[in-house]
């Protein structure tokens, strides 16, 4: 090589090596995230990931005891100034206003919303009471509407754009036996996200959806009746439920809360700056093909 060219290459390699050693700026540094259902399995994994990437996180949940636990364990890792929490029921308009007031008070606003607070309560159609139906609608549809409307208002006022990610479900796309109330509510969440994406675009607010399939480990949904109902409707033993979902999937893998958190993080970050109104299914291939 001519001397100057060799010198340039060496210089460039040295500069590159220096860059590699420099600490990488955290991708969500300076962002304020609100995570509903923050005491639950997926909510906590999402909050952990966002804190790791430099965001400040306000957790909210209806379960005060579990929320306090989650707050404590996240603050231990991320520092107490970066985490806050507030007990609130997402179906109450006043409580939701309170969440956004807390976000303003603690961190100065909200840039990233992860709407995730949810339940799983269903039954075969002829056993679906109006109470079961309304509970799904209240928490999964009205709850997502109230929280996203409140965050939308704040984001619009801030004029800084923003991101919303709805944790919906594969069952919002694909019907599941004995779960019409849940499936219908999850489908509504997905369509609500698309509608808000359309209105948010003019304000730089992106809205996307992550659809988990069965996330059994870490999720409190699977602690109770839902597990028995799913086992019954699939004609399997409750002890075999994780293995059943793993075997049924295209990839033969179990979906974990951390897998959902990765997708939520991606959509919340600037890496997904050109994605809105979109869905990522984190389901080991379950929505794409019928494998058994």
Active-site residue set? 182
Between residues 70 and 154, which has the closer beta carbon with respect to ligand NAD? Answer: 70
Looking at residue 223, what DSSP letter applies? G
The whole-angstrom separation of Cα 75 and Cα 266 is: 23
Please pick, from the candidates 219, 249, 268, 286, the single residue that binds ligand NAD as defined by CB under 6 A.
Answer: 219
Closest approach, Cβ 215 to ligand NAD, in A, equals 4
The whole-angstrom separation of Cα 236 and Cα 232 is: 6
* Footprint (CB under 6 A) of ligand NAD, residues 98-157: 116-120, 139, 143
> Encoding tokens for residue 142?
């009205």
> Encoding tokens for residue 55?
């965001």
Between residues 164 and 214, which has the closer beta carbon with respect to ligand NAD? Answer: 214
Spell out the alpha helix ranges (H) of the chain: 3-21, 41-52, 64-78, 93-107, 130-136, 143-158, 180-200, 225-233, 241-248, 257-268
3-state secondary structure of 132: helix
Size of interface with ligand NAD, in residues (CB under 6 A): 28
CA dist 168 to 42, 145, 250, Å?
11, 13, 20
Between residues 204 and 266, which has the closer beta carbon with respect to ligand NAD? Answer: 266
200 binds ligand NAD (CB under 6 A): no
Please pick, from the candidates 50, 221, 267, 280, the single residue that binds ligand NAD as defined by CB under 6 A.
Answer: 221
* Footprint (CB under 6 A) of ligand NAD, residues 223-282: none
User: Which residue, among 55, 10, 8, has the nearest Cα to 30 in the 3D structure?
Assistant: 55
Write the binding mask 150 to 169 for ligand NAD: x where contact by CB under 6 A, - elsewhere.
Answer: -----------------x-x
66 binds ligand NAD (CB under 6 A): yes
The footprint of ligand NAD (CB under 6 A) covers 37, 39-43, 61-63, 66, 89-91, 116-120, 139, 143, 167, 169, 212, 214-215, 219-221
């Amino acid at each position: 090589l001519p001397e100057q060219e060799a010198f340039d290459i060496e210089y460039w390699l040295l500069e590159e090596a220096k860059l590699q050693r420099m600490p990488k700026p955290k991708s969500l540094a300076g962002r304020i995230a609100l995570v509903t259902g923050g005491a639950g399995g997926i909510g906590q994994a999402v909050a952990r990931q966002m804190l790791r990437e430099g965001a400040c996180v306000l957790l909210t949940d209806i379960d005060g005891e579990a929320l306090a636990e989650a707050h404590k364990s996240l603050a231990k890792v991320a520092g107490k100034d970066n985490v806050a929490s507030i007990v609130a029921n997402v179906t109450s308009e006043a409580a939701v206003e309170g969440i956004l007031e807390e976000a303003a008070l603690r961190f100065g606003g909200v840039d990233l919303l992860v709407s995730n607070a949810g339940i799983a309560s269903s039954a075969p159609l002829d056993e679906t009471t109006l109470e079961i139906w309304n509970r799904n609608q209240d928490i999964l549809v009205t709850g997502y509407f109230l929280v996203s409307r409140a965050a939308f208002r704040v984001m619009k006022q801030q004029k800084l754009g923003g991101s919303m990610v709805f944790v919906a479900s594969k069952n919002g796309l694909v019907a599941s036996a004995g779960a019409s109330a849940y499936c219908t509510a999850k489908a509504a969440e997905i369509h609500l996200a698309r509608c808000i994406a359309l209105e948010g675009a003019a304000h730089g607010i992106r809205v996307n959806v992550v659809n988990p399939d069965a996330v059994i480990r870490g999720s409190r949904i699977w602690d109770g009746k839902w597990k028995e109902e799913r086992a019954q409707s699939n004609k399997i033993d409750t002890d075999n439920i994780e293995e059943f979902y793993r075997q049924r999937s295209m990839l033969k893998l179990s979906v974990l809360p951390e897998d959902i958190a990765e997708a939520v993080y991606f959509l919340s970050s600037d890496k997904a700056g050109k994605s809105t109104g979109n869905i990522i299914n984190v389901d080991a291939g379950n929505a794409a093909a019928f494998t058994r």
